[in-house]
Structure 1
Amino acid sequence: HTDRDTGLDITAVREISDYWEGVRAQYAAFESGLQAPASEVYLHEMPGGQFTNLKAQARSLGLEEKWHDVAQTYADVNQMFGDIVKVTPSSKVVGDMALMMVSQGLTRAEVEDPSHDVAFPDSVIDMMRGNLGQPPGGFPAGILDKVLKGEAPNTARPGAHLAPVDLEAAHKDLSTQLEGKEVDREDLNGYLMYPKVFLDYMGRHRAYGPVRTLPTRTFFYGMEPGEEITAEIDPGKTLEIRLQAIGETDENGEVKVFFELNGQPRVIRVPNRLVKSSTAQRPKAEAGNANHIGAPMPGVVATVAVTAGQEVKEGDLLLTIEAMKMETGIHAERDATIKAVHATPGGQIDAKDLLVELQ
């Protein structure tokens, strides 16, 4: 009964609270593990969303036990880049660099040393080029020169250099890439803002179908034998799925799944992501061998730009690796001839796997 009365309905607030309490339980596996306030935030200055994302990235790269090293390196990278404002996407750039440095055992001094060669993540190169804008006073000259290798950065507003988009032409182009699939405006907007992410999403959609119709718990954690779910894949078209049994995993890492689909028995063979295939061992790059180029971190080979027998110059792109939305280009450190390529696009790799051999 004061002029500061919010007018909020406390009963409605409790209903909302109860709803989100249930939702949070569905996402239990994705909790960051932060059970109490962390004074470490005054060290690394990570935004909240960046903290949880970076912790998940570190876990996927096998660096979870080195989290405090990641946090310290994040702080070092921030200072190395000029103590920049860290919001999406600049905070991601700092995180990409921190993860790369920890995974490769690099120090700030080594990164800033002009004589020490470093393969910077693509996001770092893109930011230093000025494609996210410029901080007050610009980026530190030393790190700018090392990242860009003499290339002049764009110091004007990045958006001023973007070519106008022909929406109708882009719409037709996207429909062609999706093999004639009908594209609505929301899809087009997603494609224009995040072309690679959107096309990856559509590729998974073609491979696995409309998995967004699955119940949340099933989508994240799978089904248990004897469990039955309902999924509406189209208006009026409902699937009743009952998992009966899961067979043993074979040497290729695949497993047989026995289930009923609308009462009809079915059997499929799928990869068991909980185990590693015993046939997927890759040769490792020899430490100290200048002709061996190894993977700096685990991830997926995004592109391969060279073939056996090809001559390359110092700085030429050999391949790119993608790990948890972080893309890193691997470049030739000297003029050479490619002896062999041990990587293929889409291939899963571990740290120190042999990717390219030089003669």
Structure 2
Amino acid sequence: MLLRGANAVGYTSYPDNVVYEFCKQARQHGVDVFRVFDSLNYVENLKLGIEAVRQANGVIEATVCYTGDVANPAKHPKYTLEYYLDLVDELVALDIHILGIKDMAGLLKPRAARMLVGAIRARHPDLPIHVHTHDTAGAGVAAMLACAEAGADVVDLAIDSMSGVTSQPCMGAFVAALEGTERDTGVSGEAIQALNAYWEQTRLLYSCFDPGVKAADTSVYQHEMPGGQYTNLLFQAQSLGLGSRWNDVKVAYTEANRICGDLVKVTPSSKVVGDFAQFMVSNHLTGDEVVERAATLSFPKSVVEFFQGFLGQPVGGFPEALRAAIIRDAPRIDSRPGASMAAFDFAQLRRDLEDKWGPGSIRDVDLLSAALYPAVFDDFQAQRQQFGNVSLIPTPLFLSPLEVNQEIQVQLEVGKTLIIRFIALGPLHTETAKREVYFEINGEPRIVTVVDQSTQPEAKVRARADPAQKNQLGAPMSGAVVEIKVAVGDEVKAGQPVCVLSAMKMETVVGAPADGVVETLDVALKDNLGAGDLICTVKKAGN
């Protein structure tokens, strides 16, 4: 599995005992190899993850995240061959089992691959080397062949029908290229095709979720967006109404990375740059304009926390002038974040969760889920309480409704199967937007009442902020209101948090437009706002 060092499997740093407990539970539940990386290649965060895996008796695959181009150091002067070799030396000194090279954006070109893997192999002849890449630019098979020639022991590939573009390079092509050579993999083409036939059909089943990326994109060498983020960010951009401006998002991603100081970009640092880019596009800002106006802008929460130091310290440090303008009076962290955090109180969390969801309802794995993702865990538990364990439903029937008189079987456990037949759908009750659903379970008739989601009321027409009125606060981008921090009559300072918007895992803290008193508050919790919708107005104190 992937372990984000001190970030565990989350988007921020956690108290050390959370990371240790997570690794312990993961090992007990069957994880053996832990690919430990840090989104900034920050060694202090890596050390924590490595030690947590060691204590859990797991296999430590300490990982270097690759960015830049070691064959062209002038373009990325921080990320030279010497930088990577020094980093590998530090990891090897920690008594690791395997070295991972994580090329999350697919930037490792064949020549650079030979240089990097070859230099590491020369310096550490007995060190197992495992290379991971994405094929966004289309050069992945060539790069992995170069890694193999230079001495890599393992490379990551994907079965043909699941390979290419933002996925991993094609296994069939790689195996065929090495057939009959001294590096022949011994994997038969027939075996690959048997697997390929299965995954072709599986991919069709999930085609409604396919992002539609159909071709290689060599612009990745400019924007350096990780393969795993590329499709997610495309979907987020579409959801935020920026789908037609995808090229602008890619350009803004490049600019956001530049003004952040050229970061190693992998979750969660890549999320910071992605949130920053969407913020820039939504607000029609260039990188230089962000730097000039940083002291007055409402930035995404992830960007503010990154500059505070919650992810750790980036290579070469922060651009301090921009950092000061973004975080303002917020605390800053200049060392490993978890080192200054109090131990997490798991016992208290268990009591709180059992008070909320029922005595004896919380397993150890639930406890960790809630510690790492409290809001997501609450949503999950609420869904479970309403609908039960929907993972038992066959996938096609989860994605598409039953036809009248269609019958399915759902196995709850060994020897316990429900035979369900859909009979009819009742008329819509317009005053409640509900319908009755008629069906049979094991021959017994049943009726349930459900909300018809297709009949939801039209969205409220919201007031718009007037950009010419400096006392009016408009939403900087689309999102749902998840927190309100002021009330009408409160005295506020310019930039003081008024509310928090959330959209597609991105939270933005929106600050007051001016000093004064909140005259109107035009939003409520869970309101969905579009960019420019009025949030509040502020009048001068005493007026």
- 1:137 matched to 2:342: no
Distance in 1, matches of 2:439 and 2:261, equals 59
Mapping for residues 57-206 of structure 1, pairs under 5 Å: 57-114=236-293, 117-151=296-330, 153-180=332-359, 182-206=361-385
**Rounded Cα–Cα distance in structure 2 between residues aligned with 1:156 and 1:220:** 46
Partner residue, 2:461: 281
The partner residue of 2:524 within 331, 337, 344 is: 344
TM (norm. structure 2) is 0.60
Counterpart-to-counterpart distance in 2, 1:127 and 1:116: 16
For 2:221 and 2:399, the matched residues in 1 are separated by: 33
Contact 1:251-1:279 at 8 Å conserved across structures: no
How many residues matched? 357
SS in 2 for 1:46: coil
Once the two structures are aligned, what percentage of the paired residues are identical? 35
Which of 448, 453, 459 lines up with 1:272 in the alignment? 453
In structure 2, do the counterparts of structure 1 residues 33 and 279 end up closer, same or farther at CA, with 3 Å as the change threshold?
Answer: closer
Give CA deviations for 1:108-149 in whole Å, capped at 9, x if unaligned.
122100476210100001111111111122111222111111
Q: Distance in 1 between matches of 2:242 and 2:403?
A: 30
Q: Which deviates more, 341-350 or 172-181?
A: 172-181
Residue 282 of structure 1: CA displacement?
2.2
User: C-alpha offsets along residues 164-187 of structure 1, whole Å, 9 cap, x if unaligned?
Assistant: 234333322332233436111211
The verdict on how the C-alpha distance between 1:33 and 1:331 changes in structure 2, with shifts beyond 3 A counting, is same
Residue 13 of structure 1: how far off its partner (Å):
3.5
Distance 1:237 1:116, change over 3 A: same
The structure 2 residue matched to 1:324, chosen from 504, 507, 526, is: 504
**What are structure 1's unaligned runs of at least 5 residues?**
none
Change (3 A) 1:301 1:152: closer
Give deviations 1:227-257, integer Å, cap 9, x for gaps: 55444456626261527448679699x4646
Does 2:488 correspond to 1:308?
Answer: yes
Other-structure match for 2:225: 46
Contact kept, 8 Å, 2:298 with 2:495, in 1: the verdict is no
CA gap of 1:146–1:251, structure 2 versus 1, over 3 A, is farther
For the structure 1 residues 115 and 209, does the alpha-carbon distance in structure 2 shift closer, same or farther, using more than 3 Å as the test?
Answer: closer
State the shift of 1:269 in Å.
4.5
AA matched with 1:49: G
| Structure 2 counterparts to residues 204-223 of structure 1, below 5 A | 204-223=383-402
CA pair 288-210 structure 1, distance change in 2 beyond 3 A: farther
- Take 1:232 and 1:312, find their aligned partners in 2: how far apart are those partners? 57
Structure 1 residues 288-332: Cα deviation after superposition (integer angstroms, max 9, x where no partner): 223322222222111111222222223321110100000001111
Unaligned runs of 5+ in 2: 1-179
Structure 2 CA distance for aligned equivalents of residues 173 and 267 of structure 1: 32
Root-mean-square deviation (CA, aligned residues, Å) is 2.8
Q: 1:229 to 1:68 in 2, by over 3 A?
A: farther
Distance of 2:204 and 2:350 partners within structure 1: 39
CA contact (8 A) 1:256 1:269 kept: yes
Q: Secondary structure at the match of 1:113?
A: helix
Alpha-carbon distance in 1 for matches of 2:203, 2:230: 18
Judge which range, 311-320 or 175-184, deviates more: 175-184
